[in-house]
Structure 1
């Protein structure tokens, strides 16, 4: 059947369009963005912007409320000392959170490694550097257990680390016999374990070697995440594991390596913990798990994975330290300090949800 209205006989109606194809190109209507949408896109592209602004506002606010006591060099350096342990544990937590996981066992790993270091160096008389190496190996081993359960058995990281938190904490109490190794004993037999707690006075401020160690570790991990293929693969696995697998990334190997690294970093946190408190206690660092999550979330990382930075985690730890220190100097009860930190977490998660709508 031919098209009567067509001048060329034998041409079907639907074939007539082939003679004169449409040369127009697709056009997309681009609507102007409102100021709020522009802010949303800016925050999505710069995840550390919000934590940096909150930290600045916190410092300005408490300097006006408390006065010179808050802005003194000694007090500001004290805040840095107080967040050193959480900053290091937060680095380990950040690596896990970027992969869309969470590790509830980081605090237990840290304390267990500190007990192992103390037992080997103080009680058994091994050289302190060897005891430190054994503690780092133990931390990496604990991370490997988490990694195997997550990658091989496909168990949710939350459930895995909740279980291993109880396991590592029980092993900690068993191995230490619930006894604290006093700081005098550590100083006499293994002073190297307390080395990171050595104070350094700079222009009226007092830092410790542990603070500089934390900053060096932040710089190293930042380089790995932003300048190496491993870092790019890590973000890819957290953002979309299926797409990462199809692109040739060995996702299970990346996840396993991340958990091992996180365990080793927790062991380094144990070394800082010993230097910070002097003694070795199986009851130390009980809030490190939640504090590390707080630093990561407040620092702009997303619990859904694929988004976060080490610098943001450091800023998040400083935010918590600034608020707790400022509220304490203001005479606010510890109860309301924790109340404030709780609201910081909720607001940070809500803000992350809003920012993520840009990519939705």
Structure 2
């Protein structure tokens, strides 16, 4: 007979939502303006770039990999799409497509090195992080691109729900998460991602092309980084060559806090959205309380260690 405990999701999946509820309750009690539509809208706008990067990062971590290059690849995509529009007068849709193509190409390079040459994802993406950073600086001349077509900033515009302004980019981020959740949960190709991360050898033996799945996961992650590039441009109104230097760690933090196992094969992608919002809520709430940003980083680091510890203990308990 199944008990209520058996029917509940694992604590690693519920954890980010519990942490989010607790953080909101604490900051709602200790600050005056936390529970306001404008503040929640601001939090979502602040996390939408990292949130979309975290979709790609989740896919890779589900396969027991990791991508340290995601932030700088995102920055390169934003520079490419803004600079080709400024220098060559290309229509915004074509410039955006070129930017996303560049980020997808970096995903393809990462995937080929991991699947064909069998290099560790950590080493591969650490190398492409530095390559993307150098290319971004060289191509931009270390200068911010300010002449941005209006279409590229449209997702940064807002509409009103009641008395609250909501950014179109926030709605787009949530739609991407729902689409990714449906794909991973309801399609065969999505379930193959979990299978490869859970047991690649057994997956190969049942006829699933594991290398092809891995390769396309890295390419698809690159596409999401390109979409994040567009959201970054939309939010700031510029192409910034110095962006992306901490987004890789922020995205990994969101994924880990969201309950996705670093050992692969386990996790719910909506948890990554919750993880990104948890980080955003912590930073926003602590700022409202007047707490130094140093303590914000400290608390985030502690949360990551706790999340990984819970994951490790749950794995041992399941054996």
| Aligned match of 2:302 | 343
Superposition RMSD in Å: 1.5
Is it true that 1:299 corresponds to 2:258 in the alignment? yes
| Aligned match of 2:169 | 210
Q: 2:15 aligns with which of 42, 50, 53?
A: 50
Superposed, 1:154-169 pairs within 5 Å as 154-169=118-133
Higher relative contact order (CA 8 A, sep 6+): 2
Superposed, 1:243-322 pairs within 5 Å as 243-322=202-281
| Aligned match of 2:89 | 125
Q: Contact 2:12/2:310 (CA < 8 Å) preserved in 1? A: no
Q: Structure 2 CA distance, aligned partners of 1:52 and 1:330?
A: 22
Superposed, 1:82-93 pairs within 5 Å as 82-93=46-57
| Aligned match of 1:75 | 39
Q: Contact 1:47/1:312 (CA < 8 Å) preserved in 2? A: no
Q: 2:31 aligns with which of 61, 66, 71?
A: 66
- 1:196 to partner: Cα distance: 0.9
Is it true that 1:352 corresponds to 2:316 in the alignment? no
Give CA deviations for 1:258-287 in whole Å, capped at 9, x if unaligned.
000000110000000000111111001221
Give CA deviations for 1:308-359 in whole Å, capped at 9, x if unaligned.
1210000000100111100000010011111111111011111111111232
Q: Contact 1:201/1:207 (CA < 8 Å) preserved in 2? A: yes
| Aligned match of 1:193 | 152
Larger Cα Rg: Structure 1 or Structure 2?
A: 1
| Aligned match of 2:64 | 100
Give CA deviations for 1:218-246 in whole Å, capped at 9, x if unaligned.
11111110010011111000001111111
| Aligned match of 1:240 | 199
Q: Number of residue pairs matched?
A: 317
Task: Compute the TM-score of the two structures, normalised by the length of structure 2.
Answer: 0.96
- 1:47 to partner: Cα distance: 4.0
| Aligned match of 2:104 | 140
Runs of 4+ residues over 2 Å off in structure 1:
41-44
Q: Structure 1 CA distance, aligned partners of 2:228 and 2:30?
A: 33
Q: Structure 2 CA distance, aligned partners of 1:119 and 1:83?
A: 25
Task: Compute the TM-score of the two structures, normalised by the length of structure 1.
Answer: 0.86
Q: Structure 2 CA distance, aligned partners of 1:159 and 1:284?
A: 22
Q: Which runs of 5+ in 2 are unaligned?
A: none
Q: Structure 2 CA distance, aligned partners of 1:350 and 1:171?
A: 37
| Aligned match of 2:140 | 176
Q: Structure 2 CA distance, aligned partners of 1:199 and 1:43?
A: 36
- 1:43 to partner: Cα distance: 5.0
SS of corresponding position for 2:95: helix
Q: Which runs of 5+ in 1 are unaligned?
A: 1-32
